[in-house]
């Protein structure tokens, strides 16, 4: 790659970083066509380069396609219609989740509601989800929590009080991983928890 070409790419990566990190609209993220307009038709390449830069920082460029099914080899048209975000590449520790403003109760409630909607083929009655949450959360908190998940964009609700997954769940949650993890046997859970604790201990000793 010539120095001039490298320079042009560096400028595009910088521009893409600004567009993706700073919120431009009410919702975060940038539409493909906006990136196309700002960076040119090679914007998927620019995003690949940016993704490489973000890897060591445990961040990634996440693409959320218009259709729920993810195309194997997306066309430029499909990418133009998709939405792009920068998300965490790995996962957070419970302590870190607290630092970004989530109480453990609220996060557990979100996990339950999302997995319940997924298990009901993407649509569940709000009343049923409330009943499920009500088993472990105080009644006054259940409705407030679901309203909060709707407000944040994790869920949406129609006039018939049916809940669906919304844009933020599609952008942030690995739905398959969530269900797999929930269904894993308790023994595996214990093992995983123990190994995580060991890892955390090792890290703290090293530091």
- Strand ranges (DSSP E) for 46-117? 59-64, 83-88
Contact mark string toward another protein, 18..37, x via CB under 8 A: ---xxx----xx--------
The answer to whether the beta carbons of residues 30 and 55 sit under 8 Å apart is no
Residue closer to another protein, measured from CB, 49 or 97: 97
Residue span binding another protein (CB under 8 A) among the ranges 1-9, 40-48, 73-81, 107-115:
107-115
Q: How many CA atoms lie within 13 A of 27 on its CB side?
A: 14
Residues written for the chain: 207
Those residues with Cβ within 8 angstroms of residue 43's Cβ, 6 or more apart along the chain or in another chain: 12, 16, 32, 35, 36, 79
Task: Note whether 129 binds another protein by CB under 8 A.
Answer: no
**What sign does the dihedral 188-194-195-196 (CA atoms) show?**
positive
d(CA 163, CA 58): 32
Residue span binding another protein (CB under 8 A) among the ranges 40-48, 94-102, 141-149, 199-207:
94-102
Those residues with Cβ within 8 angstroms of residue 175's Cβ, 6 or more apart along the chain or in another chain: 114, 118, 165, 169
Q: How far is the CB of 146 from another protein (least distance, A)?
A: 15
> In what side-by-side order are the strands of the sheet with 155-157?
124-125, 162-165, 155-157
Q: How far is the CB of 43 from another protein (least distance, A)?
A: 19
**Residue in this structure with the two tokens 């996962």, named with its chain if needed:** 91
Structure tokens at 120: 């009901």
**Residue in this structure with the two tokens 């894993």, named with its chain if needed:** 184
Residue span binding another protein (CB under 8 A) among the ranges 43-51, 70-78, 141-149, 175-183:
175-183
Q: How far is the CB of 5 from another protein (least distance, A)?
A: 27
Residue span binding another protein (CB under 8 A) among the ranges 42-50, 142-150, 155-163, 189-197:
189-197
Residue span binding another protein (CB under 8 A) among the ranges 7-15, 71-79, 104-112, 158-166:
104-112
Q: How far is the CB of 125 from another protein (least distance, A)?
A: 12
Coil, strand or helix at 61: strand
Task: Note whether 142 binds another protein by CB under 8 A.
Answer: no
> Rule CB under 8 A: which residues touch another protein?
21-23, 28-29, 59-60, 62, 85-94, 97, 100, 104-105, 107-108, 110-112, 115-116, 118-121, 132, 135-136, 168, 171-179, 181-183, 186, 189, 193, 196
């Amino acid at each position: 790659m010539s120095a001039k070409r490298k320079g042009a790419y560096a400028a595009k990566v910088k521009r893409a970083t600004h567009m993706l990190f700073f919120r431009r609209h009410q919702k975060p993220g940038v539409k493909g066509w906006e990136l196309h307009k700002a960076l040119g038709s090679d914007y998927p390449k620019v995003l690949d380069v940016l993704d490489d830069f973000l890897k060591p920082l445990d961040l990634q460029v996440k693409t959320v396609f218009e259709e729920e099914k993810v195309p194997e080899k997306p066309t430029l048209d499909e990418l133009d219609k998709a939405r792009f975000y920068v998300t965490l590449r790995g996962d957070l520790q419970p302590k870190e989740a607290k630092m970004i403003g989530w109480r453990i109760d609220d996060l557990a409630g979100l996990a339950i509601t999302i997995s319940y909607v997924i298990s009901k083929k993407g649509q569940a009655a709000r009343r049923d989800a409330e009943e499920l949450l009500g088993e472990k959360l105080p009644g006054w908190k259940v409705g407030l929590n679901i309203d909060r998940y709707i407000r944040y964009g994790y869920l949406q609700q129609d006039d018939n009080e049916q809940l669906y997954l919304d844009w933020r769940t599609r952008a942030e949650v690995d739905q398959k991983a969530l269900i797999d993890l929930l269904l894993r046997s308790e023994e595996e859970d214990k093992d995983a928890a123990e190994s995580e604790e060991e890892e955390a201990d090792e890290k703290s000793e090293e530091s």
